[in-house]
A and B are shown apart, each in its own frame.
Chain A
Amino acid sequence: MITAVSAEALALDRAGRRLFEDLSFHLRPGEAIALTGPNGAGKTSLLRAIAGLLRPAAGQIRFASAQGPLEADEARASALHWLGSADGLKGSRTAAAELRFWSEWTGGPPVRLSGRGGPERSGREGAGLDPVLDAFGLSSQAHTEVRRLSTGQRRRLALARLLASFRPLWLLDEPLAPLDARWRTRVGEMMHAHLDEGGLIIAAVHDTLPIGARELRLESA
């Protein structure tokens, strides 16, 4: 399990332009970083670099577990949830089928949701994904094709992947954008519970995150 993510003297280029350089941060379990900054400052690019989808122009991104440093590829393959602005959901498949596929792909047991309390790590198999759909208010849409979901429902289905298998590091690009006030609060509670479990969150946002997050501001170069 990942216990730390850090960047050292990181520089990123996009389309031949230097986005930022000499960026460093260190994130420990139970901590969250809110990436802020104007459009084009490189928030999404930084998330993509952490996820291994974009090669840094300079500097290092390191992952560590309690046992010591982790191989970056191994950490990304087993311990990281990616939520981009494009949700990767297929319009012709049902919400339940898509959630099941991504749960199998990311390979962990679903996070067990207990009553009013926050999510807990599932100790055993069997709860299935129904509680996860339920937690995101999608129970009655489980067998609806994704193309028939509203924008907010679709975003909630994308967010549900975070709980469909337990992975400690969440990388979120504008996670709350299309959600109404009620769902922002609910998702904020889920983020809280994840941090309480020792999870780590890095989120690019324009408005404030509903959790106590440290702000990392990117300025256009």
Chain B
Amino acid sequence: MSARRPTPLLALFLRDMQLAWAGGGGPLLAGAFYLGVAALVPLSAGPSPERLAAMAPGLAWLVLAVASLLSLERLFEPDWEDGALDLLAQGRAPLAAVAAVKAAAHWCATGAPLALLAPAAAVALGAPVRIAGPMLAAALLGGLAFAYLGAIGAALSLGARRGGLLIAVLVLPLLVPPVIFGAAAVEAAALGGPWLPSLALLAAYALLAVAAAPFAAGAGLRNALG
């Protein structure tokens, strides 16, 4: 009870960060997936530089969304399988806070490194260098929205057992706005236009997700325990 003890939620955040990086797991895999897909694009879409440069910002953004979602699928599953979720439910923090902290740790461990790769991949594919800044900002904010919305799907799919596919379809519509706003900001930056309005909409949507999604995810976790 002394002031030196970190709060339970901070302890959970640090534990999840350490688990994410232990054995080079999730973040490196997501990063490798991202770079792998980005490297395959010129092979499948043809090497013509003009064509690649036109597609680069949108592609880099799309691949980022897919890589984030793939890594989110198992956000709660290990804790659910090995009994840790039963124990987490006996803490002072409600399950909504558990979901919020785990999504935040996932964003820091996996979302942020992916966001750093996004501008590099876009520029490597031939996008103008001036998109790097907006791309990074959009990737950070978009990753935040993906992490919290994906947490809803990850929590619901625990209770639904083989319903993973159905859950993906249910959560997908929630991901449409951040994909649209982010792509709009990146495209505007590539054309030298105003990209801040789209980025502001993306930020607003991300904050809404951060504020609201933990309650839905916490209810999903409670349901999965029963």
A and B associate? yes
Interface residues in A43-71 by Cβ distance below 8 A to B read 48, 51-55
A109 & B83 in contact (Cβ 8 Å cutoff):
no
Instruction: Mark each residue of chain A from 121 to 161: 1 if its CB lies under 8 Å from any CB of chain B, else 0.
Output: 00001000000000000000000000000000000000001
Q: Judge if A107 is at the interface, Cβ distance under 8 Å.
A: yes
**Docked pose: A125 CA to B1 CA in angstroms:** 8
Q: Judge if A86 is at the interface, Cβ distance under 8 Å.
A: yes
A55 & B226 in contact (Cβ 8 Å cutoff):
yes
Give every chain A residue within 8 A of B22 (Cβ-Cβ): 92-93
Q: Judge if A84 is at the interface, Cβ distance under 8 Å.
A: yes
Q: Judge if A78 is at the interface, Cβ distance under 8 Å.
A: yes
Q: Judge if B2 is at the interface, Cβ distance under 8 Å.
A: yes
Q: Judge if A87 is at the interface, Cβ distance under 8 Å.
A: yes
Give every chain A residue within 8 A of B83 (Cβ-Cβ): 84-88
How many whole Å from A125's CB to the nearest CB in chain B? Answer: 5
Q: What residue of chain A has the Cβ atom nearest to residue B79's Cβ? A: A88
**Docked pose: A82 CA to B1 CA in angstroms:** 21
Instruction: Mark each residue of chain A from 149 to 184: 1 if its CB lies under 8 Å from any CB of chain B, else 0.
Output: 000000000000100000000000000000000000
Instruction: Mark each residue of chain B from 70 to 107: 1 if its CB lies under 8 Å from any CB of chain A, else 0.
Output: 00000000110111111111111000000000000000
- A88-B84, A125-B1 given as contacts; is B19 within 8 A of A104 (CB)? no
Which of A52, A80, A101: most chain B Cβ within 10 A?
A: A101
Q: Judge if B173 is at the interface, Cβ distance under 8 Å.
A: no
Give every chain A residue within 8 A of B89 (Cβ-Cβ): 51-53
How many whole Å from B140's CB to the nearest CB in chain A? Answer: 27
Interface of A is mostly: loop
- A77-B92, A88-B79, A92-B22 given as contacts; is B87 within 8 A of A102 (CB)? yes
Task: Select B8's contact among A51, A76, A85, A107, beta carbons within 8 Å.
Answer: A107
Task: Select A88's contact among B6, B7, B87, beta carbons within 8 Å.
Answer: B87
How many whole Å from B13's CB to the nearest CB in chain A? Answer: 11
B23 & A104 in contact (Cβ 8 Å cutoff):
no
A105 & B91 in contact (Cβ 8 Å cutoff):
yes
**Docked pose: A53 CA to B83 CA in angstroms:** 11
Q: Judge if B15 is at the interface, Cβ distance under 8 Å.
A: yes
Give every chain A residue within 8 A of B15 (Cβ-Cβ): 90, 93, 97, 101
**Docked pose: A92 CA to B92 CA in angstroms:** 26
A54 & B226 in contact (Cβ 8 Å cutoff):
yes
Q: Judge if B5 is at the interface, Cβ distance under 8 Å.
A: yes
A76 & B86 in contact (Cβ 8 Å cutoff):
no
Give every chain B residue within 8 A of A194 (Cβ-Cβ): none
Q: What residue of chain B has the Cβ atom nearest to residue A81's Cβ? A: B90
How many whole Å from A49's CB to the nearest CB in chain B? Answer: 10
Give every chain A residue within 8 A of B225 (Cβ-Cβ): 53-54
Q: Judge if B11 is at the interface, Cβ distance under 8 Å.
A: yes
Which of B19, B87, B225: most chain A Cβ within 10 A?
A: B87
Q: Judge if A106 is at the interface, Cβ distance under 8 Å.
A: yes
Give 17 A-B pairs besides A78-B92, A104-B7 with Cβ atoms closer than 8 angstroms.
Answer: A53-B86, A55-B226, A76-B90, A77-B90, A82-B86, A82-B87, A87-B82, A90-B82, A90-B84, A93-B15, A93-B18, A93-B22, A102-B87, A105-B87, A105-B88, A106-B90, A107-B8
The 9 closest A-B pairs by CB, nearest first: A86-B83, A88-B84, A92-B22, A88-B83, A104-B11, A125-B2, A53-B225, A105-B91, A77-B92
Q: Can you identify 7 A-B contacts, CB atoms within 8 angstroms?
A: A51-B86, A55-B226, A76-B90, A87-B82, A92-B22, A125-B2, A125-B4
